[in-house]
Amino acid sequence: MKINAGTEFLIRCRSLRWLVESNLLIDLIQMRTRAAIVSHLPGRL
Protein backbone atom coordinates (compact mmCIF):
# COMPACT_ATOMS: atom_id res chain seq x y z
CA MET A 1 0.00 0.00 0.00
CA LYS A 2 1.73 3.13 -1.22
CA ILE A 3 0.63 6.55 -0.02
CA ASN A 4 1.97 9.61 -1.77
CA ALA A 5 3.08 12.70 0.13
CA GLY A 6 -0.08 14.68 -0.61
CA THR A 7 -2.38 12.00 0.75
CA GLU A 8 -0.19 11.52 3.81
CA PHE A 9 -0.26 15.29 4.39
CA LEU A 10 -4.07 15.32 4.12
CA ILE A 11 -4.38 12.41 6.54
CA ARG A 12 -2.09 14.15 9.03
CA CYS A 13 -4.00 17.43 8.74
CA ARG A 14 -7.30 15.62 9.21
CA SER A 15 -6.10 13.72 12.28
CA LEU A 16 -4.54 16.89 13.71
CA ARG A 17 -7.78 18.77 13.14
CA TRP A 18 -9.71 15.95 14.81
CA LEU A 19 -7.31 16.09 17.76
CA VAL A 20 -7.74 19.86 18.11
CA GLU A 21 -11.53 19.65 17.83
CA SER A 22 -11.74 16.85 20.40
CA ASN A 23 -9.51 18.85 22.75
CA LEU A 24 -11.75 21.90 22.32
CA LEU A 25 -14.79 19.74 22.99
CA ILE A 26 -13.17 18.34 26.16
CA ASP A 27 -12.30 21.88 27.30
CA LEU A 28 -15.88 23.00 26.68
CA ILE A 29 -17.27 20.05 28.65
CA GLN A 30 -14.84 20.71 31.51
CA MET A 31 -15.75 24.41 31.58
CA ARG A 32 -19.47 23.64 31.65
CA THR A 33 -18.95 21.02 34.36
CA ARG A 34 -16.88 23.44 36.42
CA ALA A 35 -19.51 26.17 35.99
CA ALA A 36 -22.23 23.75 37.09
CA ILE A 37 -20.23 22.72 40.16
CA VAL A 38 -19.51 26.34 41.07
CA SER A 39 -23.16 27.32 40.67
CA HIS A 40 -24.17 24.42 42.94
CA LEU A 41 -21.64 25.43 45.60
CA PRO A 42 -22.19 29.11 46.40
CA GLY A 43 -19.73 30.51 48.91
CA ARG A 44 -17.48 27.44 48.85
CA LEU A 45 -14.81 28.95 46.60
Give the tens place of pLDDT for each residue, 1-45.
577 888 999 899 899 999 999 999 999 999 999 999 888 877 655
Closest CA to 28 of 42, 41, 20: 20
pTM of the model: 0.54
Q: Which residues contact 3 (CB under 8 A, 6 or more apart)?
A: 11
